[in-house]
Structure 1
Amino acid sequence: MAKKELFGLCPYVTAQKVLTGKWSMYILYLLTDGPIRFNELQRRMPEEMTHTTLSRQLKTLEDEGLIVRIEYQQIPPKVEYQLSEIGEKFRKVLSVLEVWGNEYIAYLDDVKRTLREAGT
């Protein structure tokens, strides 16, 4: 019996496949402030990232429809990235993830504190 393909049917599998890539959610978060040029995105990444890696990640997010690449016909060339209409809807998810992420960070701090106190 063939396994059922859940992409496009199950919201969790669909979201997980669309958001592949180590930095996809962080890039979407950075774009919530508005359009950003490539080099500025690269500067804002928390780790050193090659031009190729960021380009690949942006291309994937664009292919998935979450961001839009805007090319301005000028010299020197100018390219900006911004959230698409469906990408804008991801803001709500980012907001909830921020709350949960902060709660998890507090949990980790509590665990570390407990371990330190137990070792004292």
Structure 2
Amino acid sequence: MPDDQNDKLMEQFIERATPKLLEAMQEGLAKQIEDQIGGLKANAEKMLDEIKDARRERETREKQQATEMGQLKTLLERGDAPKDIHQHLSPEPIRLTRTQARDAALYRKAKAQAEKAGTTLEIVTDE
């Protein structure tokens, strides 16, 4: 008889304790799952940003190539000499001395001018 009573008491304990144990475990598991999903989410966002950046760079390159091809076509249609075409398509870089480059306003202006002209900005030593 005592074994039957112990079994009944054990079953009653399990019935009452199980919901509370599950509730306590659920909070801990929810936090762990949230932490893991948060890491995956951050990683996915980083990858999407990299894909978007690569796409923007590709589109910029394609636009630049289309512009250059249009310029080349125009120059060829005008019948310019090959030397003139080469100079027009690959302009000389804009050069600033180190002293000039330290002037922020001048540097920004030169950089904008270089981008507009489709060339580069070159920093040279002071002479």
Structure 1-normalised TM-score?
Answer: 0.29
Asked which structure has the greater RCO (Cα within 8 Å, sep 6+), the reply is: 1
Q: Which has the higher strand share?
A: 1
**Structure having the higher Rg:** 2
